[in-house]
Chain A
Amino acid sequence: MSDPLISVKNLHTQFHTDDGTVRAVDGIDVDVSRGETVCIVGESGSGKTVTSESITKILQMPPGDIPIGEVQFRDVESVRELADQFPKRVFDVHEDDAPGTAGTDVPPEEDRPGDEKHFVIVEERSGDRISRGYIDMVRAPDNALRKIRGGDIAHIFQNPQSALNPVYTVGWQIVEAVQLHSDDDDEAARERAIDLLDRVGIPDAAARFDDYPHEFSGGMKQRVIIAMALASNPDVLIADEPTTALDVTIQAQILDLLAEIQEDLGMAILFITHDLGVVAEIADRVVVMYAGKVMESGEVFDLFESPAHPYTRALLECLPGRGGDMVSIGGSLPSVTNPPDGCRFAPRCPHAVDDCFTGDQPPMYSVEGADQEVSCVFYGDGYDESVVQTEFAAAQNRTARTDGGRTTGRRAGTDTDESVRSDGGDR
């Protein structure tokens, strides 16, 4: 299919706190196509987790809130189902029924009549059947989302220790996942659950069905969680740093498992991580986020071979074993409640010029000769991109202050004082 399965468009997610409104995700676009693995990379605080939770709206709302943005989910089956279930909330882009009429774009939000209520957008029909359309997850009500959550889009989380309810057996929890989206009776559900446990590599699955989470090791727990996520053969699996809390060998096993399952089921994976090593291994496409915005996105090989954005370069150089000594990026994250004008990364970028500090985050420019897009002024008109295509560390050193403190000439707008290392560690 040409349309991506999930299309995040201009997503803004905020949290209203006593200290102000935290703009965790400040306008990003992400696409995930069927069967592909997209990795969202970034350091702690970049907004990647919030993004993943915004897709199915499982974040706490209040205090969370999505004031602007759309998340398009294009599984035709689901669209049809929800259209039937919520007929009043269907918006037909075309009034006439001409079959095969294609491609008129959906009018922008402001023009849609009464668009607050509509969340099933139909773009094409063949006869009465919907042939193209999407569900706007942002505007969908909870009872619609419930079908999608777990049924079409599944999640797995970072900390397997706490992701399972300690007072129920793993079998019970998987059965629950199964029965929430099917009419299976207890027997059938149990069968399926054991099957799943087996599928994810739990030895002696039938016996382990009745065990409690605390009777499993960390890696096993994560497998159980994966089993739970697969219960209804979802189209997308959103994995939020699932291997971060595991040791490296287990990590490898889990990644293998995911790859296997992806192949079997043709499932798309949206993988959140800060670990570039993992990205290299499993990603088809990569999205680099920083301070709530996308810095760069593109095909994995292209991105690794020739990183376009200075931040991406810096991240890659931070990897141990690549580049020279350990490098850290000086400076700190911008204020989350009051982000500065211009490019978010500008205060820490050695190449930054005046244009970098004004206006909005630069738009995503295409990179020549590669399947990449980058948000950097140097890729726009009138700039020479080769300037930024140099070693980050070297560039950083050149512009460093002699006293080793913060690099000069940078806009205020940073409010934390820690330098950030991008080699992993806790989120």
Chain B
Amino acid sequence: MFKKLMTVAAGVVLAGGLAACGSDGDGGSGGSGGAGGSGGSDEITMGFAQVGAESGWRTANTKSIQASAEEAGIDLKFSDAQQKQENQIKAIRSYIQQKVDVIAFSPVVETGWDTVLAEAKRAKIPVILTDRSVDSDDTSLYKTFLGSDFVLEGEKAGQWLVDNAKTSDTNGDGAIKVVELQGTTGAAPAIDRKTGFEDKIAADDTIEIAASQTGDFTRDGGKKVMESFLKSQQDIDVVYAHNDDMGLGAIEAIEAAGKKPGVDIKIITVDAVKDGMTALSEGKINFIVECNPLLGPQLMELAKKVVAGEEVPERVVTEETVFDQEQAKAVLADRQY
């Protein structure tokens, strides 16, 4: 009896797995059906392999690409890799078979792309990387990399603190004590945002990072680490969080300690997602460096240039800005993500 049931259970699991594979295949063949029409016209066809839909940031990124493709009159073939490299490679191969004009993708991981990118190169299809880069010695495999410069983001945050050093010394003891909430240990944004920030604040002797600990890019992590910092560190002036979520967690911890976030302790974060911008407009955060997911328009422009055979720079930084409290109030209403 048990054995029979086990077999059934295993069968169900297997069937589930097959169904999942099947749906991937469907996605591919559905795409190729559509590709037939694109051959003759002047319309550019772009194949885009997205990482997945793991965060609000990524969803906004996807929407931006889809909307701006339509606006630019580019025929977009979109696939979602569900955070798996093999799915992404499959999608890219199917784009090569469909003979799209340009391929764009955000690599799930940094390595292992040489073979499939060489295939694209042989088929003379240009490749654009977005948001994340690949680790390959052969830079001729892709035309350009469009994405944020995380070091620059850290530098912007550090620069603001140096520029506002006077008002940031909230307790007026002459020293500006910063605690840092790092992103996931080892992640590129965490490493780069830390480096950029440290480089800039080195210019001012009064600013020192008193404590730095990972909050794993989450609100819960940010809150717990901040709770400990508030007890183990005296006279904290500034919190620098590598993303909005950890900053939002820190706000809760600061409020629970009976202090006013944004006034008693200044807060600087990176990202500018809607919840963060709301807190900024309410005065609980002092400064946010944007990490822009809306790179669709820039991507379409690059794609047109690449297809037309024009030269494009090897590295294009996403257009990103910074927000203080007044600017946040102005743009909050039409923030998309």
Question: Are A and B part of the same complex?
Answer: no
- Residue numbers of A with Cβ under 8 A of B are none
